[in-house]
Structure formats: structure tokens, C-alpha cells
Homo-oligomer: A and B are copies of this chain.
């Protein structure tokens, strides 16, 4: 009733880091000056540090999908055979994109809520020794499922193929040892765990993948990784950069470095664990119980309740924006995000609100039951030696 603060609690755009938001006000700087070069160089260095790689990490003025496209249009040849894993809406985007560029996609599909096993990738590579690339989502945002990136990397690493990971919601929510595991292209987006508004895509690229640029014959101009890499070496971007977003990103990267990327990942994983505990305690079913992602938890709506009713209840009663299912999952699931600037206080609010919305719509759950599950997970992690009153 009455005051309802608008709270953006979706798996992207995610809650904005206030300092990063406010920093955008200092955008009155020209992008071809030493002042901006200094900022840009710092961002390039911090991106590498936060990605945890010696590979170059290139920011692109695009959404994450733009960076996904760049990884195809800059590296492959028309008709190249590639292996594409799909178990959700974003896997389907890899399929559609590789096909749009005339690649020969061998599609490894699993049902929504599942993950493609690493062994299937190994088998597909064995069956298709001419495959030049493997595509996957680290975290499939549409289902709240995660893939075994490390296991897949082991299989790909034994071949001449390159491994391209959409880590748009994977970065900052799960360990991704780019150099150690040999992840050739890792893709991120600004409006995810990076805590700033949409408009920037990121892409780390290995030496092995850079070799592919030499033989690539697919048309591209705006997304030109060779050109972008050369510009980056001069502390510049190829085209006009999104100045406000780069400046904002600088603040966010500073925060993430202070926090520690590992802590950011732990944070998402602990929130996801607490959310799963709360859902189970409330008698709700998880949509991806076998391979749950830490970026977002997908929960099945109770029998007979359209999940849109829950999403609407959150918005109307509490001003909270949470995500419905996408595509055929719409109405079946709702999704609670954990990636980026989320904390336990947010989760107390979300679960407290969920209990009220469920009861108001005919699904009976005692007040405080899910919240207590969240508190227990917090207490186990923060106060392991404290005995709690019961």
C-alpha cells in the first residue's frame, strides 16, 4: 500500500551501484582526449583483472548480443561446422545466430531446466572432428541453469576448435578460469553483474581465437575485433565509445576490485542457495534443480497459479520488478535474480513479499517461513558458532 519503492530485481538490468550511477554525471569529457584515454586504459586493465585473464578484454558499444555476434562474424568462415549447446532461450539465440551467419550448426539440445552434459560436447567433438567452434551459455538466464564450462573446456582444449562462452550472466556468479581452463571467448554485458545500465558488451579473446580472425570470411564492419584490439592498445575505442557508461563502469570495476571478484561470486552463490532453501521450505519446486545457476533462481509457480500473477503481485503490492518465464516458460515460472548488486537485505524483502503474494493468491504458506530459511543460510555463513533461539 501507499509507498512502494521501485526495486529492479531482474537478472538484467540489475540494481545499479549508486556510485556508478552518479559517476555518469561526469560525462562531459571528449573521447579523443588524454583525459578519456586515461579512464579507458584503466577500464581495460580493470576488466582484465575482473575477468581474471591475461587475454585482452574488449568493450563494445552494444548489448551482450552484439558481442555474441562479434564472436561469430569475426572468427568463422561461411559453412564452418560448429557445435551449439542449447537448453533455453539464450541457447536458441546461439543457434539462430550461427545459422544467420551461414554456419553449419550441430545442435546439442536439452530440455528447459536441464543442462547439456560436458560429455555430450566431448562426444560431439569426437563425432565431428572438423568442428571449428563450440558455443554455450555459462549460465542460461531463461531457466536458471548453469553449464559445466570447465568440463566442456577440457574436451574442446584437446581439439583445434575454439570455445565461445556466453557468460553474460555467468561472469560474477560462477568461477570461470579463463586462462586455466582455456576459455577462448568469454562474453559479458554491462547490465548484469557489472552493476551499470545496459549498453556495453564485453568480450575476452584468446590467442587461439585471434588466429581465427585471419581466416574469417564473414562480413563485418562495426564489430571488428582486430581493429578494436589495435585501438585498445592505444587506449582508445574504434568508434565513439559510450562515454557515460565507460565512466560508470570505471566506478563499478573499482567497487568489484575492492570487494573481490571471488566475493562477488560467493555473494551470488550464497543468495542463490538461500533462495533455493526458501523456495523448498515454502513447498515450491525449483525449475532447474539439477544444475542451478547462481545468477538467477527459477521457481515453478504453484499448481494452478499463473506466474504472471506473482510477477504482478510483486509489482502492484511492493513495486518490485521480478522476471516471469520467457517463451513457453512464461506463466510457468518466476525468476529471482542474484547477479551483481544484490544483498541479503534485498532477499529478506523479496521472500517476505513472496510469502504475502502467494497467500493473497490462494497458496497458503506461514508468514516468515521462507524468510527464516534465508536467515538460516545467512547465519550459517556469518555466525557459524551461534545457536539460534527457536
Binding site for B on A (CB under 8 A): 1-7, 18, 25, 259, 263-264, 266-267, 270, 317-320, 341-346, 348-349, 351-353, 355-356, 359-360, 363-372, 374-376, 378-379, 381-383, 386-390
With a CB–CB cut-off of 8 A, which chain B residues contact A6?
A: 18
Shortest beta-carbon distance from A127 to chain B in Å = 43
Shortest beta-carbon distance from A386 to chain B in Å = 5
With a CB–CB cut-off of 8 A, which chain B residues contact A318?
A: 343-345
Complex Cα–Cα for A318 and B379 (A): 12
B355 & A2 in contact (Cβ 8 Å cutoff) = no
A266 and B343 contact, Cβ closer than 8 Å, known pairs A25-B25, A388-B364: no
B5 & A343 in contact (Cβ 8 Å cutoff) = yes
B375 & A390 in contact (Cβ 8 Å cutoff) = no
A367 & B345 in contact (Cβ 8 Å cutoff) = no
A366 and B359 contact, Cβ closer than 8 Å, known pairs A259-B2, A263-B2: no
Shortest beta-carbon distance from A5 to chain B in Å = 5
With a CB–CB cut-off of 8 A, which chain B residues contact A263?
A: 1-3
B375 & A2 in contact (Cβ 8 Å cutoff) = no
Shortest beta-carbon distance from A251 to chain B in Å = 14
Residue of B nearest to A6 (CB): B18
Complex Cα–Cα for A110 and B389 (A): 37
With a CB–CB cut-off of 8 A, which chain B residues contact A25?
A: 25
Shortest beta-carbon distance from A259 to chain B in Å = 7
B348 & A319 in contact (Cβ 8 Å cutoff) = no
Complex Cα–Cα for A171 and B116 (A): 59
Complex Cα–Cα for A343 and B6 (A): 10
Complex Cα–Cα for A371 and B381 (A): 21
Complex Cα–Cα for A344 and B317 (A): 10
B346 & A389 in contact (Cβ 8 Å cutoff) = no
Complex Cα–Cα for A38 and B259 (A): 45
- Residue with the highest number of chain B CB atoms closer than 10 Å, among A264, A341, A388: A388
With a CB–CB cut-off of 8 A, which chain B residues contact A345?
A: 4-5, 7, 318-320, 349, 352-353
With a CB–CB cut-off of 8 A, which chain B residues contact A352?
A: 344-345, 348, 352, 371, 374-375
Residue of B nearest to A9 (CB): B345
- Residue with the highest number of chain B CB atoms closer than 10 Å, among A343, A353, A359: A343
Shortest beta-carbon distance from A40 to chain B in Å = 24
A346 and B1 contact, Cβ closer than 8 Å, known pairs A359-B389, A366-B389: no
Complex Cα–Cα for A3 and B349 (A): 16
B372 & A356 in contact (Cβ 8 Å cutoff) = no
A368 and B375 contact, Cβ closer than 8 Å, known pairs A345-B7, A360-B386: yes
A2 and B270 contact, Cβ closer than 8 Å, known pairs A317-B382, A386-B359: yes
A343 & B379 in contact (Cβ 8 Å cutoff) = no
